[in-house]
């Protein structure tokens, strides 16, 4: 893509009320725009990252036999009364139409997916089944100050699993753990992310969170480095040692909850009377689990963890582009021609490239923008690079650049299709 | 995909209050589920169709140099007050949080995209620019009785174009006309769809709609068959002849509005004071156009127009699968084995296949379900077909089937990747 056609521009400053690093970088680099507190527009660069995260999650959910659907946001009040959450959930947006009909704006979808499952699940033969969606959620955050980490409107993947018994739930729970580990690994924060034991509420001893260590986190976790698992501070009085090895020398860190998996058991199947007939013909409660990942939050977490003082540093698999092609001294027709050739070559080879073809920017401005945007490879075409025998290539994560000939450039990206 | 893993099942009856053909077929076949009037869940089969429509639209918008973004649904009241629509738009959902902050649930996005453009557009050099999204909308329809044709919550593609002058807008308007024609052609209703002159409101003589002829339509249009354009009945008193050739023997038909394109000119740029500096340094109003397509409505229109009495008939490019592989008498191990082989073969060749592997259904039930679901090719593996030398293939649009050998089956789908 030509940077001159990107619509957005980098900005010197983020809005004054944005205090978080993720918001500052994402807004300054033109990845998102803030419409109001906790409500963001994804701009072309940000949307590309979001779509890549979405595709990673979709692949991992499909691999775990998830079936994708898309549920709506306008939920009838009755469904939320059935579970009792119409009254008890403080951050539920409620909207009524002029005929007086009341709706919740879905912050989660148990109230929709359980009645839906009731239409298709009747026998043990229909189970297990795993249903997910990637969809917009609403939550009434009165003070949304963490950028895209905590929004009033945000995109989530939520998967719901339905089982005949708890053993089967536990089996699938392990499958999901692995799927989640894959997602965070592919998004570039695998090494920073810990499976964390957290409060299970009234119906289960523990739930499990995936917590990514970051100063921007709202949670505090206690990590067992040997087992690579952690305990959320909220249960540390009950569980002060590693649940796996029993070690008590846990390391305390701030962390961002990037995912959670939860044994719902019969918490939502009971109120909706979601049952199945077992082999003997008896009615039994369906056993459920639920599993969430916030896409924007994951994106924001990557920014919090992997940035440096100059800007963002995107892991290859979720970067908006793989190559940032900079052309310097565009007055020079030869440089401009060569840069266009390189751009064509990269496009043809399927290497996603953002071509900074802007003619009204200095070299310094282009370098600063490139560091801020954080695309993994910077390829520079300039008078100097051409004289030195080709283009200058530099990884965002490395300090030094090298000159490679234009013919050899493609070999720098071996894993390309 | 294995039909046994689809989660949904076909149903004999749609809900009693669903009077439209599209809702009846889509619900019975398990493409959508009705949560409440005008609010639907897309189930696996329906979501596949929706995603294919989405991809067609995205391709055509990108071809027309559209830049994709994603705007939110929670719009600050102030933005809607600026345009005056907070008070004048009757079907606007309004939601407030406990701090008293009021929001509109976006039914369209001029109130968000214009302030956004103001952040990035300042000079004639920044124009033209074409911004689009594929996103969820809300509209307070008090009586939603047309299935997915008219929802209270629905997914739309909305593109907004920004220009320095009206001539440039008109040029892009023609580009969009072509893009829209491509979309409807690829979705299988090109021949049924007419560019239609409609009321332009107070700021333009005409707007243009794309109207697909169908008895389910809420609009009436007057068609000039020679020019393949039409006049919406709402302006027939002003424009009773073909706007192109002047003919007055127009054919009157009911039709569904599947898209509209609109010259906004300065209607929304003025209230937000969206201006640009021209070459002489003078401030000028930005000229705008907007262009919408409802994805669910397009899907429902295809069902209304292309179904027969047995069920839906999906055009290849938006069908949930290309092949419906039916296996009969699954007690016969040989049949089951061959069916699995064919399924593997089709998958390997990238032919999207739904494999009806259900063992608790009769041949009659499987045929009826297959006709209802409406996948373009039905491939049957049975004792009889194997004895006759292979599998039986039948197009959904044709009456007669043929036997082809398993080796030759792949040649039936020449355009496969």
End-to-end CA separation in angstroms for chain B = 18
Do the Cβ atoms of A330 and A201 come closer than 8 Å?
no
Q: pLDDT-based confidence at B417, cuts 50/70/90?
A: very low
Q: Which residues of A touch B40 (CB under 8 A)?
A: 72
Q: Could you give the CA distance from residue B240 to residue B225 in angstroms, rounded to a whole number?
A: 15
Token pair for A55 = 């595709």
| Closest by CA position to B193, among listed B291, B108, B107, B306 | B306
Interchain contact, B74 vs A99, CB within 8 Å: no
Fold of B321-412: Rossmann fold (3.40.50)
- Which residues are bridge partners to B395 per DSSP? B377
pLDDT of res. A201: 72
Domain ranges of chain A: 3-306, 321-412
Nearest CB to A73; choose among B70, B98, B136: B136
pLDDT at A203: 64
| B285 phi and psi angles, rounded to 5 deg | -70, 140
| Res A417: pLDDT | 43
Q: Verify whether the Cβ–Cβ distance B69 to A43 is below 8 Å.
A: yes
What residue in B sits closest to A360 (Cα-Cα)? B125
Mean pLDDT, rounded, of chain B:
95
In terms of C-beta density within 10 A (0-12 exposed, 13-18 middle, 19 or more buried), how is residue B50 classed? buried
Over the stretch A152-178, which tens digit does the pLDDT of each residue have? Answer: 999 999 999 999 999 999 999 999 999
User: What is the full per-residue pLDDT of chain A (417 aa) written as tens digits?
Assistant: 999 999 999 998 888 888 899 999 999 999 999 999 999 999 999 999 999 999 999 999 999 999 999 999 999 999 999 999 999 999 999 999 888 899 999 999 999 999 999 999 999 999 999 999 999 999 998 888 899 999 999 999 999 999 999 999 999 999 999 999 999 999 999 999 999 999 987 667 789 999 999 999 999 999 999 999 999 999 999 999 999 999 999 999 999 999 999 999 999 999 999 999 999 999 999 999 999 999 999 999 999 999 999 999 999 999 999 999 999 975 678 899 999 999 999 999 999 999 999 988 999 999 999 999 999 999 999 999 999 999 999 999 999 999 999 999 988 886 654
Kindly indicate whether the domain formed by A3-306 is annotated with CATH number 3.40.50.280: no
Distance in Å, alpha carbon of B64 to nearest chain A alpha carbon: 13
Distance from CA of B40 to the nearest CA of A (A): 6
| Core vs surface per residue A110-119: b (16+ CB within 10 A) or e | bbbbbbbbee
A408: how many CB neighbours lie within 10 A of its CB? Answer: 13
pLDDT, one tens digit per residue, over B162-207 is 999 999 999 999 999 999 999 999 999 999 999 999 998 766 778 9
Statement: residue B314 has pLDDT above 90: yes
Distances (CA, A) of B320 to A30, A67, A226, B379: 36, 14, 48, 15
The minimum CA-CA distance between B361 and chain A, rounded to whole Å, is 14
Q: Which of A103, A153, A155 to mutate to test the interface with B (most CBs of B within 10 A)?
A: A103
Whether ipTM exceeds 0.90: yes
Mean pLDDT of B142-169: 94
Sheet holding B74-76, edge to edge: B74-76, B102-105, B93-96
Percentage helix, strand, coil for chain B under 3-state DSSP, each rounded to 5: 35, 30, 35
Of A7, A119, A138, the CB nearest to B33: A119
A140, B97: Cβ pair inside 8 Å? yes
Of A5-14, B5-14, B25-34, which has the strongest mean pLDDT?
Answer: B25-34
Q: Is A256:A219 a contact under the CB 8 Å cutoff?
A: yes
Interface contact A69-B41, CB threshold 8 A: yes
Measured distance CA(B410)–CA(A181) in Å, rounded: 39
Interchain proximity B76–A120, CB inside 8 Å? no
* pLDDT value at residue A416: 52
Nearest CA in chain A to B67: A44
Q: Do domains A3-306 and A321-412 have the same CATH topology?
A: no
E strand or H helix at A83, and its extent?
helix A77-83
Taking the C-alpha atoms of residue B245 and residue B99, their distance in angstroms, rounded to an integer, is 59
Beta-carbon contacts of residue B361 (< 8 Å; ≥ 6 apart): B369
Is pLDDT of B414 > 70? no
Q: Which of A7-21, A257-271, B296-310, B354-368 has the lowest mean pLDDT?
A: A7-21
3-state DSSP of B219-285: EEEEEECCCCEEEEHHHCCCCCCCCCCCCCCCEEEEEEEEEEEEEEECCCCCCCCCEEECCCCCEEE
Q: Which residue has the tokens 């969606």?
A: A133
For A70, which residue in chain B has the nearest alpha carbon?
A: B42
Chain B residues inside the 8 Å CB shell of A44: 67-69
DSSP state string for B153-206: EEEEEEEEEEESSHHHHHHHHHHHHHHHHHHHHHTT-GGGEEEEEEE-TTS-SE
Cβ atoms of A172 and A128 within 8 Å: the answer is yes
The angle formed by the CA atoms of residues A153, A154 and A160, to the nearest 5 degrees, is 120
pTM of the complete model: 0.97
pLDDT for the residue numbered A330:
57
B-interface mutation test, from A1, A12, A27, A43, most B Cβ less than 10 A away: A43
């Amino acid at each position: 893509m030509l940077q001159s056609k990107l619509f957005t521009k980098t900005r010197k400053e983020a809005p004054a009320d944005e205090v978080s690093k993720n918001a500052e970088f994402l807004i300054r680099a033109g990845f998102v725009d803030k419409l109001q507190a906790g409500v963001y527009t994804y701009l072309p660069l940000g949307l590309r990252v979001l779509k890549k995260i979405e595709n990673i999650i979709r692949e991992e959910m499909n691999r775990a036999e998830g079936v994708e659907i898309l549920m709506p946001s306008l939920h009838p009040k009755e469904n939320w009364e059935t579970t009792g959450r119409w009254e008890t959930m403080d951050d539920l947006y409620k909207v009524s139409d002029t005929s007086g009909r009341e709706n919740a704006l879905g912050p989660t979808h148990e109230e929709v997916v359980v009645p839906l499952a009731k239409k298709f699940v009747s026998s043990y033969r229909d189970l297990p089944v795993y249903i997910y969606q990637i969809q917009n959620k609403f939550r009434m955050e009165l003070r949304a100050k963490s950028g895209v980490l905590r929004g009033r409107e945000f995109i989530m993947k939520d998967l719901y699993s339905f089982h005949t018994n708890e053993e089967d739930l536990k089996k699938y729970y392990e499958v999901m753990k692995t799927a989640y580990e894959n997602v965070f690994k592919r998004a570039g924060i695998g090494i920073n992310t810990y499976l964390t034991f957290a409060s299970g509420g009234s119906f289960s001893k523990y739930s499990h969170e995936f917590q990514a260590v970051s100063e921007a986190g709202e949670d505090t976790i206690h990590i067992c480095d040997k087992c690579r698992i952690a305990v959320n501070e909220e249960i540390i009085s009950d569980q002060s040692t590693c649940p796996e090895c029993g070690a008590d020398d846990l390391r305390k860190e701030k962390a961002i909850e990037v995912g959670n998996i939860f044994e719902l058991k019969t918490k939502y199947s009971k109120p909706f009377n979601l049952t199945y007939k077992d082999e003997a013909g008896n009615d039994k409660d369906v056993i459920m689990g639920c599993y969430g990942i916030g896409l924007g939050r994951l994106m924001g977490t990557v920014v919090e963890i992997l940035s440096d003082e100059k800007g963002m540093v995107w892991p290859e698999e979720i970067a908006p582009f793989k190559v940032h092609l900079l052309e310097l001294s565009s007055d020079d027709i030869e440089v401009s021609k060569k840069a266009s050739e390189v751009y064509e070559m990269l496009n043809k080879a399927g290497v996603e490239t953002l071509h900074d073809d802007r003619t009204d920017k200095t070299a310094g401005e282009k370098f600063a923008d490139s560091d801020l945007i954080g695309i993994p490879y910077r390829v520079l075409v300039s008078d100097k690079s051409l004289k030195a025998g080709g283009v200058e290539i530099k990884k965002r994560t490395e300090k030094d650049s090298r000159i490679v000939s234009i013919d050899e450039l493609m070999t720098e990206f071996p894993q390309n299709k």
